[in-house]
Amino acid sequence: MRILKDVDVDELHLFRGRVLEDVISSTGSLLLPKGSEIHAVLESVPGITRTLKRWGIYSVMLDVSFDLSEEDFNKIIENIQPKIRVLEAALAHKTISQVDEVYRRISENGSLGEGAAMLAKQAALLTEEVSRAPQILLCLGRVRESDEYTFVHSLNVGLLCGYLAARLKPGDREFASAMTYGGLLHDLGKARVPQHVLNKPGRLTEEEYEIMKSHSIYGDEIARSSGISDVRVLSVIRNHHERWGGHGYPDGLQK
């Protein structure tokens, strides 16, 4: 029999089960993916309960009828071919630090400066890593604490963009590198969003949401003023919140 339970975030550590539905912040960021094993999440992202409460989320619906043991789960993972690989820690740390540095440069100078070339080089390294191991694990919560979510998220998006690009155009390493670069930079416009809006716990007001939505345009402006001219990279930065049906932003593009 299926057993569902609405669990207080401060009591999640007492349960074993899977997240019933995607848990999403008021800005659309995925905080807990549907089907994730809550015990594993708590171990890999120690600050997740603080993050949830910061976004005004105080309970999570779990499917606690899931009875596969951790040992059995690990056996299943061991039998997966090809093997899942975790991104090399040093490369992950360096990339996240560079994204952090880019945000700092924008806040101080309004431009990426040398950070643009620095991240472009890092994008090429990530593309090489993904090309060697397309099954690379994207969930990098253990790299840094959740307070630095934006930078970890940028790395994950960069890896995912590179992976999708490689599937769309096999063998086109230059295209994959450009998409990875765009993924790393996709949220750089948030450096111009006021901190009280960016880090507000709970739901944004309509006015605050409009301010938050401006980060796509800000990012495009910052990238162009920093000398980035690759239309593929600029497209990722400006259009990453567009939707197929034309309901996205900032331009309401349609398929």
Whole-number pLDDT of residue 242 = 92
pLDDT band at residue 198, thresholds of 50, 70 and 90? confident
Distance from C-alpha of 252 to C-alpha of 227, rounded to nearest angstrom: 26
Per-residue pLDDT at 219: 93
Domain ranges of the chain: 2-65, 72-239
Q: What is the mean pLDDT of residues 34-63?
A: 88
The predicted pLDDT at position 57 comes to 92
* Average pLDDT of the segment spanning 169-176: 89
Out of 93-107, 122-136, 141-155, 185-199, give the one with best mean pLDDT: 185-199
Give the whole-number percent of the chain exceeding pLDDT 70: 83
List the beta strands (DSSP E) in the chain.
4-8, 18-19, 23-24, 30-32, 59-63, 85-86, 136-137
What's the rounded Cα separation, in Å, for the pair 219 and 46?
Answer: 30
Task: For residue 129, name the pLDDT band (cuts at 50, 70, 90).
Answer: confident
* pLDDT interval class at 201 (50, 70, 90): confident
* Poorest-pLDDT segment among 88-102, 156-170, 220-234: 88-102
Of the pLDDT bands very low, low, confident and very high (cuts 50, 70, 90), residue 143 is very low
Cα–Cα dist 56/24, whole Å: 11
Query: Could you report the per-residue pLDDT of 58-89, keeping only the tens digit for each?
Result: 999 988 764 556 666 566 556 655 555 667 77
- pTM for the full predicted model: 0.63
Average pLDDT value for the chain: 82
**Exposed e or buried b per residue across 190-229, where buried means at least 16 C-beta atoms within 10 angstroms of its C-beta:** bbbbeeebbebeeebeeebeebbbbbbbbbbebbeebebe
- CATH code: domain 2-65 is 3.90.105
Contact 102, 190 (CB under 8 A): no
- Residue 144 pLDDT class (50, 70, 90 cuts): very low
CATH of domain 72-239: 1.10.3210.10
Percent of the chain scored above 90 by pLDDT?
A: 24
